Amino acid sequence: MAEIHGECEDRFGEVRELLAASLAKDDVGASVAVHVDGEPVVDLWGGYADAARTVPWERDTITNVWSTTKPMTALCALILADRGELDLAAPVAAYWPEFAAAGKERVLVRHLLSHTAGLPVWDGPMTVEDLYDWRLATARLAGQAPRWEPGAAAGYHAITQGFLVGEVVRRVTGRSLGAFFAEEVAGPLGADFHIGLAAEHDPRLSPVIPPPTPMTDSPDVPANPLVRPEDANTVPWRRAEIPAANGHGNARSVGLVQSVLACGGTLRGVRLLSEAGCARAVEEQFRGFDRVLGTRMWYGMGYGLLEPRTCFWGGMGGSLVVIDLDARMTVAYVMNRMLSQDDDRGMGFLLAAYEALAS
């Protein structure tokens, strides 16, 4: 079995065993964290930060978590809504006038958060390098027409969601999404999570290890641009702000930030939301077939829903965070080796955490 580092309460011992088994089988380097009432009951890591298995995964190792970035972006919108600075039921164009073009005057802010805005990809030619130009990427979205009646259908906005919500945040606050998150969320909580990674953090970065087989694309809504796992290992990707896909952190920081929701909005003496503000995350926005993912989905306000008071999201290749507002628990898993879309490593840790909580 692989050597595991960190702390784990005895009743959560199965989580430790699962991590050791995963590192011996599928994982190269990984971290798992469970927070209950905002306190870390599991904070474990192990394995290696590189594919060659020469550099240990350390306590402060971070990696690109792909779409596990989305809950961080959603949290920023929920905070602004709770402060009364952003109306989630208002038209996006109320904050971003140019967005009303091409029939989008009926797109509401909540449609952006629930993947129902009809803008799952860019219509025109788009490269990964274009994602590094914020004004270009957002201007192109502002100019295109929705693919369906806003709010009437859902289709996962894999990359576009971050630019859409992020631009609304920028219009409301005058700050980029990454800056707002750093100053209003990560900073006050002491969370090591970054949307737009500064060069000073590069030495402790674990590169993404691509999956053994390529990820499949949606036949109905092909990715545009097509983002490859290797793109995350480039300097331009790290430095850019791609608020749906290029957050960097580990399980500890992911779980810590999302524990704000699990704990009623106040964590470590820092109040970011009211109880009612937290509950907005689990307000059902859509339940039905997702045109991009090709499966049924249940969407809240920026999160997927598992139960009426439990929300989640995960990243391409395996990372995951689940927030149970009733149990006041978060479970987070972050790793460097990506597997297929059907990867269930994170779910194993989740089930083990619930079993421990019930014991």
Q: What is the 3-state secondary structure (H, E, C) of 230-256?
A: HHHHCHHHHHCCCCCCEEEECHHHHHH
Judge whether 62 and 204 are in contact, CB under 8 Å: yes
Q: At residue 87, what is the residue type?
A: D
What's the confidence (pLDDT) of residue 341?
63
Residue found by looking up tokens 């499949």 in the block: 216
Strand ranges, E, within 124-273: 194-195, 247-249, 266-267, 270-271
What's the confidence (pLDDT) of residue 213?
84
Residue 58's domain comprises 4-358
Structural domain count of the chain: 1
Tell me how far apart the alpha carbons of residues 244 and 246 are, in angstroms, rounded to a whole number: 7
Distances (CA, A) of 304 to 51, 275, 321: 31, 19, 11
The helix (H) or strand (E) run that includes residue 142 is helix 134-143
pTM exceeds 0.85 for this model: yes
Judge whether 274 and 87 are in contact, CB under 8 Å: no
Longest dimension (CA), the chain: 58
CB-based contacts of 141: which residues, under 8 Å, 6+ apart? Answer: 99, 119, 122, 160, 163, 164, 167
Q: In a structure prediction context, what are the per-residue pLDDT tens digits for the chain, which is 359 residues long?
A: 678 999 999 999 999 999 999 999 999 999 999 999 999 999 999 999 999 999 999 999 999 999 999 999 999 999 999 999 999 999 999 999 999 999 999 999 999 999 999 999 999 999 999 999 999 999 999 999 999 999 999 999 999 999 999 999 999 999 999 999 999 999 999 999 999 999 999 999 999 999 988 877 777 789 999 999 999 999 999 999 999 999 999 999 999 999 999 999 999 999 999 999 999 999 999 999 999 999 999 999 999 999 999 999 999 999 999 999 999 999 999 999 999 766 889 999 999 999 999 98
314-318, Cβ contacts within 8 angstroms, sequence gap of 24 or more: 314/67, 314/68, 314/346, 315/65, 315/66, 315/67, 315/68, 315/69, 315/245, 316/66, 316/67, 316/215, 316/229, 316/245, 316/341, 317/66, 317/208, 317/211, 317/215, 317/229, 317/343, 318/343, 318/345, 318/346
Looking up residue 107, the CATH number of its domain turns out to be 3.40.710.10
What's the confidence (pLDDT) of residue 2?
76
